[in-house]
Amino acid sequence: MINQNYFKQDVSEIKPILSKMQTVWDGKNAILEMKEKNYSHWKQMEWMGFYFQFLCENNLQDVLTIPGPAYNNVSFDGVKNIPWDFKAHAINTSSHQIIVNDSEATAQAIKDYCEVGLILALGEVIYNDVKRTFQKWHEKLKGGKSKFEMARIERGAWSRLRKVSFKLKQISFIKITDETLIKCGSFQTDFRNSDGSPRKAKVLIDLEKLDKEIIDVIEF
C-alpha cells in the first residue's frame, strides 16, 4: 500500500525551491533562454507552458527524477514518491480548464501510485499586439512559418494572439485521484490526427470544480 503522506512529503521538498522562482517571464527572453540551452521546445508557440516545464526541470533535478515514469510512450514530467506534471495557466481568461496528461497513462499511474500530482503555475498574461509583432519575431527566429502554421493558413483557420509575457501569481499543488478523473472528465475523446488515427484522450482539469484536490499553494 502506498504511503498516503507521499504527496505532502514531495511537496515539502519541492515547495521551498519553487518559492524562489522568478515571477515575471518575458516571452522573448524565455524563448532565447530555452534556445541557448538547446531545449527542444523553444520553437513552440505556447512557450509559457514549456518555459515553466523548463524551469521546473532545471530547478527540481536534485529533488525529482526527470522525466518520470512512462506508460505507452507517455511520460510524466517527474517523479519522487509519486509522478508529477508541470503546467502553466493564465488566470485572466474565461477558461479555467487545464489539459493535463494522457487519460490512460494517468489512470494507470494512479493505480500504481494511488495518486499523481500536478504543479500548476497561475498568473496574468499579456497578449500580442494586433500587428502580431511578437509572433513575427518568433517566426523569424525559427527560420519561417512552421508546417502547422502553413496548414492553418491553408485551411483559413483563425490564428490566436500569442502570449508575450506572464506574471506569476501562484503555484498550486494539486492531487489527482480516480475521484478527480470522474469529476473533471477528458479532452479530445473523439478527435483525430491528420492521418485519420484517433487522438488519445487527455485528462481535463476544471479549476472551478476543485476543492480538496488543491493541497498546498505558493503565493507571490
**What per-residue confidence (pLDDT) applies to 25?**
98
Per the CB < 8 A criterion, the answer to whether 115 and 179 are in contact is no
Quick one: which of 141, 48, 35, 31 has its CA closest to 87? 48
pLDDT score, position 115: 95
Cα–Cα nearest to 109, from 76, 87, 77, 60: 76
pTM (predicted TM-score): 0.86
Domains in the chain (CATH in brackets) are 6-130+162-219 (3.40.210)
- DSSP class of residue 207 equals G
Angstrom distance (rounded) from CA 88 to CA 50: 8
* 43 has pLDDT over 70: yes
**pLDDT, tens digit, 9 for 90 and up, residues 56-103:** 999 999 999 999 999 988 999 999 999 999 999 999 988 888 989 999
Per-residue model confidence as pLDDT tens digits over 113-131: 999 999 999 999 999 888 8
* 141-197 residue pLDDT tens: 998 665 655 554 555 555 567 899 999 999 999 999 999 888 876 554 443 334 444
Alpha carbon separation from 21 to 15, 64, 99, 108, 184 (Å, rounded): 10, 17, 23, 31, 29
Give 8-25 pLDDT, tens digit per residue.
999 999 999 999 999 999
pLDDT of residue 1: 47
- What local confidence, expressed as pLDDT, does residue 160 receive? 66
